[in-house]
């Protein structure tokens, strides 16, 4: 038995870890699974990748299988890290269509959570760029699923949180890029309404995301910096960048110890936010060129940044609210957060479109992502936020969840019947089960 | 590199050290051939390296315990390689080997007999041609036998002595270079359940890089992490009456 947790370091669970070395070994482990779930690089925040009895770690399935440079289609094993994919293909002029805030996640995990990036409003989620999946089913079968073959299973697996079989290999499409640079523009929004208007009016920009100052209140409630980005073309690079058309990642720093819980408090976070907002607002007129890593994965520059929240860990609360209810509900949520002063260091607002699979998180609307260090009152506080979310017909992101109540899940994902029916068919013996699935009754 | 792009043959081609070595050479634009027992595993590694580097690799079936097949194996290669690297090895289970002679024999044959015989064959072919590089991945364990691993260690000691003798014989005017690599601890499936001191533990890719670098500098014996040289010096110099009482 091994004790593991997700990236938020809450909750922790004891599980047997099985580490197959080959696709066939993973198939056998799935067929013999005892309430098992697949695990990639452990970056889901909560308990999505902790099995009840067994956890099947896919980190050794990290080989690339085939690549077609004319179409940009690549077939890889599911345990391959996005960072590995980017290091290999960026110098050849290809980049994943969808990347989240870290590239230290596996391709299998990206599919299972149907992850979204800063371009979800314009280009959809990771699932949209998946062409084919090689799945190991609890029956011991290995089968290929795509839009044409076993389409129900294919779509249910996208965003299916690993509950429809174990992804062994995936064929995905990569985006041709001329450079490894992003042309960024920043817009300063003085309040929530301005932030939403800005995100709305920049619909056609490929990448957009807003950083929100969660401690601002009153007339400045929801003040934000909106970061817009496009892949830079070769002729948009300065001389200095043109020499280094595909910049590589710099070596990262690391947080070597758990910071004491008092390092992040209302005063330190408020001071940081004030500084950050002002410096962002100052830069807001011009374009800046950033390497893809700095634009998409700023936190990866600090290894183990989760330790900044101390040993007790932290909770991530990411909700999405349908467009018509978004502004009023967001205002109410932000108001409560500002009043409580929960030192949410990272708060992100972004526009989403429709998700791909039946259990995919995204829906047309606005998503708000917040971090909360674990504290005594945080659970009941987040339950209150959840009530606002469900009342507004919104839902929570399962890959980040560690604590939502069953009722919140039922309210957020009302039509689970076909997903559950599919699960009953392919996994009658319940070989696949995660702590998340058991907790909220997926 | 001064020479034009050359061919390297890696024996024991589906191990993690072999994978890292093959990747290093393919990135250096060498023609890479992988040989080993499992066609499927070799194909998986060859495909992976091919996608990563854009180079095409060839794979070749070889059972290092079947020395009767060696001549046919070498004859069937598309060409006589410029460099041959043996990554063949089996740690085995010492306690099991103590009571199971078949297992003990398998450890000894896989780590010594097989690699020594096939490298010997390549040495003769290289001598006939007038050039070639022979690289054997041996082990620091072979520097002195320890109670917890002496079947493995003695076989590696044999391989180290074999390579040393071969190097000595071919040192002058043969055009053949013989290199012994002692990786120390490496983070592979052989060691995944063992706690290892980070400073003495190399990633597989370091071994691959050490081989390529050593080749260019015509090194004879390489400790991948140089600290190992001093660690093993101390261990070798320790008087036997003290050494034998240590729990190693």
Per-residue pLDDT of A100-146, as tens digits, reads 999 999 999 999 999 999 999 999 999 999 999 999 999 999 999 99
pLDDT of residue A253: 64
Chain A residues in contact with B189 by the CB 8 A cut-off are: 21
Q: Does A90 touch chain B (CB under 8 A)?
A: no
pLDDT at residue A333 greater than cutoff 50: yes
Min Cα separation A89/chain B (Å): 8
With an 8 Å Cβ cutoff, are B51 and A64 in contact? Answer: yes
Min Cα separation B188/chain A (Å): 11
pLDDT of residue B190: 72
Mean of pLDDT values over A391-411: 97
Structure tokens, A231: 């892949």
What is the SS3 assignment for A205-269?
A: CCEEEEEECCCCCHHHCCCEEEEEEEECCHHHCCHHHHCCCCCCCCCCEECCCCCCHHHCCHHHH
Select the residue from B20, B41, B47 to test the A interface by mutation, using most A Cβ atoms within 10 A: B47
Helix B114-129 to helix B150-169 angle, to the nearest 10 degrees? 10
Confidence of residue B25 (pLDDT cuts 50, 70, 90): very high
pLDDT of residue B2: 41
d(C-alpha A427, C-alpha B81), whole Å:
51
Mean of pLDDT values over A247-271: 72
Q: Does A175 touch chain B (CB under 8 A)?
A: no
Residue-wise pLDDT tens digits, A177-219: 999 999 999 999 999 999 999 999 999 999 999 999 988 889 9
Mean of pLDDT values over B199-204: 90
With an 8 Å Cβ cutoff, are A63 and B192 in contact? Answer: no
Mean of pLDDT values over B104-130: 98
Q: Does A63 touch chain B (CB under 8 A)?
A: yes
Mean per-residue pLDDT over chain A, rounded? 93
A285 vs A25, higher pLDDT:
A25
pLDDT of residue A263: 67
Question: Which domains are delineated in chain B?
Answer: 7-243 (3.40.50.720)
pLDDT at residue B156 greater than cutoff 70: yes
d(C-alpha B184, C-alpha B186), whole Å:
6
d(C-alpha A105, C-alpha A255), whole Å:
19
Radius of gyration for chain A, computed over Cα atoms and rounded to the nearest angstrom: 21
- B189 vs A21, A63, A65: nearest CB: A21
Contact A120, A353 (CB under 8 A): yes
Length of chain A: 442
Mean of pLDDT values over B125-146: 96
Min Cα separation B169/chain A (Å): 41
Quick one: closest CA in A to B54, which residue? A67
Residue-wise pLDDT tens digits, A366-381: 999 999 989 888 999 9
Confidence of residue A404 (pLDDT cuts 50, 70, 90): very high
pLDDT at residue A342 greater than cutoff 80: no
Give the number of A-B residue pairs with CB atoms closer than 8 Å: 22
Min Cα separation B47/chain A (Å): 6
The residues in B 40-59 lying below 8 A from A, measured between CB atoms, are 41, 44-45, 47-48, 51-52
Q: Does A172 touch chain B (CB under 8 A)?
A: no
- Greatest Cα pair distance in chain B: 56
With an 8 Å Cβ cutoff, are B51 and A19 in contact? Answer: no
Confidence of residue A28 (pLDDT cuts 50, 70, 90): very high
- B51 vs A19, A21, A66: nearest CB: A66
Residue B140 φ then ψ, to 5°: -60, -25
Q: Does A67 touch chain B (CB under 8 A)?
A: yes
Question: Which domains are delineated in chain A?
Answer: 64-178 (3.30.465.10), 181-409 (3.30.70.2520)
- A63 vs B44, B189, B192: nearest CB: B44
pLDDT at residue A98 greater than cutoff 50: yes
| Torsion on CA atoms B221, B223, B228, B234, rounded to nearest 10 | 0
With an 8 Å Cβ cutoff, are B47 and A65 in contact? Answer: yes
With an 8 Å Cβ cutoff, are B41 and A22 in contact? Answer: yes
pLDDT at residue B1 greater than cutoff 60: no
Location of structure tokens 């290093």: B24
pLDDT at residue B3 greater than cutoff 60: no
Q: Does A64 touch chain B (CB under 8 A)?
A: yes
pLDDT of residue A251: 59
Length of chain B: 248
Chain A residues in contact with B47 by the CB 8 A cut-off are: 63-66
Chain A residues in contact with B51 by the CB 8 A cut-off are: 64-67, 74, 88
pLDDT of residue A252: 59
With an 8 Å Cβ cutoff, are B41 and A88 in contact? Answer: no
Confidence of residue B194 (pLDDT cuts 50, 70, 90): confident
pLDDT at residue A269 greater than cutoff 80: no
Q: Does B190 touch chain A (CB under 8 A)?
A: no
Confidence of residue A84 (pLDDT cuts 50, 70, 90): very high
Chain B residues in contact with A67 by the CB 8 A cut-off are: 51
Cβ-in-10-Å burial (0-12, 13-18, 19+) of A331 comes to middle
Confidence of residue B192 (pLDDT cuts 50, 70, 90): confident
Quick one: closest CA in B to A88, which residue? B52
With an 8 Å Cβ cutoff, are B45 and A67 in contact? Answer: no
């Amino acid at each position: 038995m091994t004790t593991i947790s997700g990236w938020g370091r809450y909750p922790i669970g004891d599980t047997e870890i099985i580490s197959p070395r080959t696709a066939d070994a993973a198939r056998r482990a799935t067929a013999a699974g005892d309430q098992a779930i697949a695990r990639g690089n452990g970056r889901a925040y909560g308990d999505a990748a902790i099995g009840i009895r067994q956890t099947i770690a896919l980190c050794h399935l990290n080989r690339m299988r085939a690549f077609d440079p004319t179409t940009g289609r690549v077939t890889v094993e599911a345990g391959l890290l996005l960072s590995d994919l980017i290091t290999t293909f960026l110098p050849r002029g290809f980049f994943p269509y969808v990347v989240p805030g870290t590239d230290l996640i596996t391709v299998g995990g990206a599919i299972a959570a149907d992850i979204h990036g800063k371009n979800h409003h314009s280009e959809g989620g990771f699932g949209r760029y998946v062409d084919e999946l090689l799945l190991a089913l609890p029956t011991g079968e290995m089968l290929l699923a795509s839009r044409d073959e076993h389409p129900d299973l294919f779509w249910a697996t996208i965003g299916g949180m690993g509950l429809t079989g174990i992804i062994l290999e995936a064929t995905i499409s990569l985006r041709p890029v001329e450079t490894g640079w992003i042309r960024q523009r920043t817009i300063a929004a003085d309040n929530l309404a301005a932030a939403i208007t800005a995100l709305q009016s920049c619909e056609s920009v490929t990448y957009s995301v807003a950083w929100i100052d969660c401690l601002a209140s009153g007339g400045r409630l929801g003040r934000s910096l909106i970061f817009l980005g496009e892949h830079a073309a070769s002729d948009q690079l300065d001389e200095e960048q043109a020499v280094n058309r595909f910049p590589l990642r710099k070596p990262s720093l690391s947080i070597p110890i758990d910071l004491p819980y008092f390092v992040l408090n209302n005063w330190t976070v408020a001071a940081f936010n004030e500084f950050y907002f002002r410096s962002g607002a100052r830069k807001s007129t011009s374009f800046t060129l950033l390497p893809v890593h700095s634009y998409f994965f700023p936190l990866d520059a600090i290894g183990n940044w989760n330790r900044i929240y101390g040993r007790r860990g932290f909770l991530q609360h990411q909700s999405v609210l349908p467009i018509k209810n978004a502004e009023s509900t967001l205002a109410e949520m932000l108001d409560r957060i500002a009043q409580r002063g929960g030192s949410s260091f990272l708060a992100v607002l972004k526009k989403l479109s429709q998700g791909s699979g039946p259990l995919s998180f995204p829906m047309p609307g606005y998503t708000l992502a917040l971090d909360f260090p674990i504290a005594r009152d945080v659970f009941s506080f987040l339950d209150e936020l959840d009530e606002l979310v469900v009342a507004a017909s919104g839902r929570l992101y399962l890959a980040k969840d560690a604590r939502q109540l069953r009722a919140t899940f039922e309210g957020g994902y009302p039509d689970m019947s076909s997903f559950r029916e599919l699960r009953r068919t392919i996994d009658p013996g319940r070989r696949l089960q995660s702590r998340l699935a058991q907790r909220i009754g997926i | 590199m001064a020479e034009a792009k050359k061919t390297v043959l890696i024996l024991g081609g589906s191990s993690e050290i072999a994978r890292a070595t093959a990747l290093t050479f393919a990135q250096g634009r060498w023609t890479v051939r992988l040989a080993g027992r499992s066609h499927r595993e070799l194909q998986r590694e060859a495909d992976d390296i091919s996608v990563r580097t854009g180079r095409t690799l060839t794979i070749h079936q070889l059972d290092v315990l079947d020395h009767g097949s060696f001549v046919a194996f070498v004859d069937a290669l598309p060409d006589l390689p410029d460099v041959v690297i043996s990554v063949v090895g089996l740690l085995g289970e010492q306690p099991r080997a103590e009571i199971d002679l078949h297992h003990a024999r398998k450890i000894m044959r896989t780590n010594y007999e097989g690699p020594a015989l096939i490298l010997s064959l390549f040495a003769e072919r290289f001598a006939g041609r007038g050039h070639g590089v022979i690289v054997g991945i041996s082990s620091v364990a072979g520097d002195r036998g320890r109670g917890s691993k002496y079947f493995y260690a003695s076989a590696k000691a044999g391989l180290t002595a074999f390579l040393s003798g071969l190097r000595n014989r071919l040192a002058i005017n043969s055009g053949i270079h013989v290199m012994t690599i002692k990786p120390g601890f490496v983070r592979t499936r052989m060691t995944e359940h063992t706690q290892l001191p980070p400073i003495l533990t190399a990633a597989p890719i370091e071994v691959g890089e050490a081989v390529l670098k050593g080749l260019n500098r015509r090194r004879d014996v390489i400790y991948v992490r140089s600290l190992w040289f001093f660690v093993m010096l101390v261990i070798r110099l320790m008087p036997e009456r003290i050494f034998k009482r240590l729990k190693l």
